[in-house]
Chains A and B, each alone.
Chain A
Amino acid sequence: MAQAPVLPAGFELPLEPRLPRIGSVDAVALEERAGSLAKRSIKRDAKVFALRLAIRTTDLTTLEGADTPGKVAALCSKAMRPDPTDPSIPSCAAICVYPNLVPTARERLEGSGVHVAAVATGFPSGQYPTSIKVADVRSAVELGADEIDMVIDRGAFLSGRYAKVYDEVVRVKEACGEAHLKVILETGELGTYDNVRRATLLAIAGGADFVKTSTGKISPAATLPIALCMLEAVRDVYFETGRRVGFKAAGGIRQAKQAVQHLVVVHETLGPEWLTPELYRLGASSLLNDILMQLRKEKTGAYQSPDYFTLD
């Protein structure tokens, strides 16, 4: 068991000794920059490229109490072949489900290259004892999840117990084994961009492979300024240490246009290197059909009725 020191080890490590600080974020300027990136005009080939990339990086998600094997099986088919009429459309990156539905997804997706992500650690609140959270992760991995989406303990974070947050990330990372760890900050509950930056660095220091905005259960979720704020922290870590940490925007992204805006922010913050499912994900459910609709429109020149796209 990793013992967290008072000042978490590694928390300050990504930054050079001459820059011994976490840094701060100016809200006005951050939102202004995000707003100006949202105005990029992405047309024709560039738009098709972005839409296909959005599909390739999508974690197709269903996180309902009412989820059943049937529902998840349908979603798996959609993830593997989003548009049955157009085989040129790529597959999604992963399916994101609760642990109990991992075996169904695993079976359906076998050999497809589409990953299975499970939410764990007492998702979405994270208000459980650490031992339960670790056990939750272990069982999800045993059930066949190759990606784990954990939530941080916002209660601990907001009361200043950063070491507890850090310690949990470290222990969950250990429990993940080979599985990739995405750390959900639930930014909608963190209150300030300074906190978002702080939590991002904390998660990275604890061993996150990905940092993720939200559970999708709280609004606001993945806004552009939040994404920009987290990506800037990821960028700082990369340039200070060479370590590449992925980023997942999840929650509230329902339209193709929003997805393109998110991709622009990544592109102009971290560069083309990050435009890959290994380092970037979009967590969404209804987004996919809007993207398919836009792609069909780019191909045929006309919008098709929603009836031509499957509801899964």
Chain B
Amino acid sequence: MAELDRPGGSPAVPSDWTYAPAPESRDVVHLRDRYGLFIGGEWLEPSETYETISPATEEPLAVIGQASVADVDRAVVAARTAFADGWSSLPGSERAKYLFRIARILQERAREFAVLESLNGGKPIKESRDVDLPLAAAHFFYYAGWADKLEYAFPNRRPRPVGVAGQIIPWNFPLLMLAWKIAPALACGNTVVLKPAETTPLTALLFCDVLRQAELPAGVVNIVTGDGRTGAALVEHDGVDKIAFTGSTDVGKAIQRRLAGSGKKLTLELGGKAANIVFDDCALDQAVEGIVNGIYFNQGHVCCAGSRLLAQESIYEPLVEKLKRRLETLRVGDPLDKNTDVGAINSAMQLEKIRELVESGREEGAEIYQPPCRLPEKGYWFAPTVFTNVAQSYRIAQEEIFGPVLSVLTFRTPEEAIEKANNSPYGLSAGVWTEKGSRILWMAQRLRAGVVWANTFNRFDPSSPFGGYKESGFGREGGLHGLEPYLRFDE
């Protein structure tokens, strides 16, 4: 690990200010020993089970059901029944009431959910508290507002619900992705079978409590836990009218192949390798913050993470110096500590994948920098990492790492920046850093990415559509666009 040179020698540090641990209390969360499958408003015993753990300590948290093909069938039947028995014909204003109720309950129980999200997923509590929970609640509020206005959203097209939506969500934002999926589906009058990620089922299971509190009719939302087999059973079930999937590009492609010719609607939100493009006229210190937020937010477990930094050559050196110095101040550790900036890697499998790709970067000749930081012994951890001297052809510049690893490349002109940014099978997001407004617009027109952030990164809002180009998927979530995948039209 490189030591940074401090000009003017290094005088004795006059004092050492170590922040005392400031852990958020776990007492607000009451975990059960085991969880069944939430089907038709009831908890059903699964035939098979597995254990879910805390990735920060590897401590087992609860026993979780592994839903079988038969269990998935039960869930789809429950959803179909609820759809036919009234949910689909309920006036929009009535559906909205349930969504508003869910949103308010999420706000009321925000602390409990935030702690559980960090416990089960490894993300810092400050992120689950300040990002995941407020945004999840905001999504329910937002789509509650649309529920009785669908006729106005799509005038003269007679919008009607699709039916039963099968939804499969990832482990990086467990509750937030649940909200992105469930809120528009219910607002449009569909019923849902949702499968949370294998490693992070707990907030989805706690959410079942919220559904009961909100007195949502039984069967409107069903939660089936399990691994890829459960997901496959859901995708293949004949009773499902629509599949919404967020996850890896490989699985997304497999789903698309399976569904070809089936007539089921499909939306996919897949991987990314976003370019964060920094021009020499940007506000440099704020760009550094944006780069850090772009790639180290949620340990880099973000599909739209700014994993490729494209720095204009004229500021390459000061930018990288500032970035390295900033990395030294990142606090890696206990996800429940309120001062933690970077938490635990979500699973042993993901850690292995990150290590493998980082190794490939070293072998291919990139220069690695990791700030000095002490990682906990137990659990899954990876220090924030920057690769410099990265060539466009390296695997770390092409493949999605999904970890706290940044690859730095350079460019000379705006044209070259566009060429490099678009030279990727992915196209989910991009960032542009410049003080020049006209250049932002010029870039945004040419970047083949679903989201282009200007002088910011990883900023989300329920009213703003989100989705990809190319192998990053299709279909939009959020905003008015996010309603469309859950509606049929007379045309």
The answer to whether A and B interact is yes
Which of A26, A43, A275 has the most CB atoms of chain B within a 10 A radius of its CB?
A26
Q: Is B27 located at the chain interface by the 8 A CB criterion?
A: no
Q: How far is the CA of A241 from the CA of B6 in the complex (A)?
A: 10
Q: How far is the CA of A286 from the CA of B11 in the complex (A)?
A: 33
Q: How far is the CA of A238 from the CA of B21 in the complex (A)?
A: 31
A45 with B456, Cβ < 8 A, contacts A29-B286, A272-B13 known: no
Nearest opposing residue in chain B for A277, CB measure: B14
Q: How far is the CA of A46 from the CA of B17 in the complex (A)?
A: 7
Determine how close the nearest CB of chain B comes to the CB of A117; give it in whole angstroms: 21
Q: Mark B396-437, 1 if CB is under 8 A from A, else 0.
A: 000000000000000000000000000000000000000100
Q: How far is the CA of A238 from the CA of B325 in the complex (A)?
A: 13
Q: Is A50 located at the chain interface by the 8 A CB criterion?
A: yes
Contact of B22 among A18, A30, A43 (CB under 8 A): A43
- In the complex, chain A residues 253-296 whose Cβ is within 8 Å of any chain B Cβ: 263, 267-268, 272-273, 275-276
Residue pairs across A and B with CB atoms within 8 Å: the count is 93
Contact A18 B314 (CB under 8 A): yes
Nearest opposing residue in chain A for B14, CB measure: A276
Contact B16 A242 (CB under 8 A): no
Q: How far is the CA of A267 from the CA of B289 in the complex (A)?
A: 16
Determine how close the nearest CB of chain A comes to the CB of B392; give it in whole angstroms: 24
Q: How far is the CA of A33 from the CA of B18 in the complex (A)?
A: 20
Contact A30 B286 (CB under 8 A): yes
Contact of A272 among B14, B317, B325, B338 (CB under 8 A): B14
Contact B7 A43 (CB under 8 A): no
Q: How far is the CA of A227 from the CA of B285 in the complex (A)?
A: 14
Classify the secondary structure of B's interface with A.
loop
Q: Is B42 located at the chain interface by the 8 A CB criterion?
A: no
Q: Is A24 located at the chain interface by the 8 A CB criterion?
A: yes
Contact of B315 among A19, A232, A238 (CB under 8 A): A19
- In the complex, chain A residues 26-60 whose Cβ is within 8 Å of any chain B Cβ: 26, 28-30, 32-33, 36, 39-47, 49-50, 53
Contact B19 A29 (CB under 8 A): no
Q: Is B455 located at the chain interface by the 8 A CB criterion?
A: yes
Q: Mark B278-315, 1 if CB is under 8 A from A, else 0.
A: 00011111110110000000000000000000000011
Nearest opposing residue in chain B for A40, CB measure: B339
How many A residues are at the interface, by size bracket?
Answer: 35 or more
Nearest opposing residue in chain A for B457, CB measure: A29
Q: Is A23 located at the chain interface by the 8 A CB criterion?
A: yes
Q: How far is the CA of A300 from the CA of B240 in the complex (A)?
A: 64
Q: Is A244 located at the chain interface by the 8 A CB criterion?
A: yes
Q: How far is the CA of A50 from the CA of B19 in the complex (A)?
A: 10
Q: How far is the CA of A221 from the CA of B70 in the complex (A)?
A: 66
B16 contacts across to A, CB distance below 8 A: 272
B155 contacts across to A, CB distance below 8 A: none
Determine how close the nearest CB of chain B comes to the CB of A212; give it in whole angstroms: 20
Q: Mark A1-39, 1 if CB is under 8 A from B, else 0.
A: 000000000000000101101011110111011001001
The 21 listed contacts between A and B (C-beta, < 8 Å) are: A18-B314, A23-B284, A23-B285, A26-B286, A26-B435, A28-B456, A39-B126, A41-B19, A41-B22, A41-B338, A42-B22, A43-B19, A46-B17, A49-B17, A239-B7, A242-B8, A263-B17, A267-B17, A272-B14, A272-B16, A273-B11
| B residues whose Cβ falls under 8 Å from a Cβ of A | 7-8, 11, 13-22, 126, 130, 281-287, 289-290, 314-315, 317-318, 321, 325, 329, 338-339, 435, 455-456
List 6 additional A-B contacts (Cβ < 8 Å) besides A26-B435, A41-B339.
A19-B318, A29-B286, A41-B19, A41-B338, A46-B19, A272-B17
